[in-house]
Amino acid sequence: MRYRTILGIVVSAVLAWCVPVTAGAQLKKMNDADMSKVAAQGGIYLSGDITLNENGGPLQNAYFGACTDTTKHCGARIAVQMKQNGGWLVLDDLRGKFSFQGLTIRTRKITSGFGGDGALFNRDVLEIGLPNVVQFDNVSMNIAASSTSRPTDAGFQQTDLFSVQMQGKVTMQGNLLVFPDGNP
């Protein structure tokens, strides 16, 4: 009990000192000449929780429905066509919660590396820095091959390849580089 009282007094004293100091701070407008002298790095640092379809999505049709209806799919759907006029790789019935801290997004110029191709590339890429730890809570999905991107499209046929369920923490390291398509 004594330590809590001492800690409370110390925290109160620090807050009492900090509040007046920060209350007087002001933002000042900078002109272009002053801005040109500022050196900084651009980028975004993200932390958050993403919950997908806990109870079912907003779409209710012959394929999608409420999670309580075992005859329907209730999770989100992500479809990626790997080549033009080819089939679709699908993450279907995707639901659960993803939590992360420290995902970064910035641009980076590639001028070297990649077996000498970097000098020829000589352009910006989008660099996504992976967070150290991602927490998965009741995440599940089906990985499937599909003839169409949407289950409501004509000629829809889907083969579920396997189901995934994830619970716990995953350690991630490194960066994901997203290269632009086409000419600069």
Tens digits of residue pLDDT in 9-53: 444 444 444 444 445 557 778 888 887 777 666 778 888 998 887
> What pLDDT does 38 receive?
75
CA nearest 77: which of 13, 136, 142, 22? 142
Residue 34: φ, ψ to 5°: -70, -40
- The answer to whether the pTM exceeds 0.85 is no
Tens digits of residue pLDDT in 56-75: 666 777 777 777 888 877 77
CA nearest 137: which of 165, 97, 93, 94? 97
For the chain, the structural domain boundaries read 41-178
* Rounded Cα–Cα distance for residues 155 and 81 (Å): 16
Q: What is the DSSP secondary structure assignment for residue 49, as one 8-state letter?
A: E
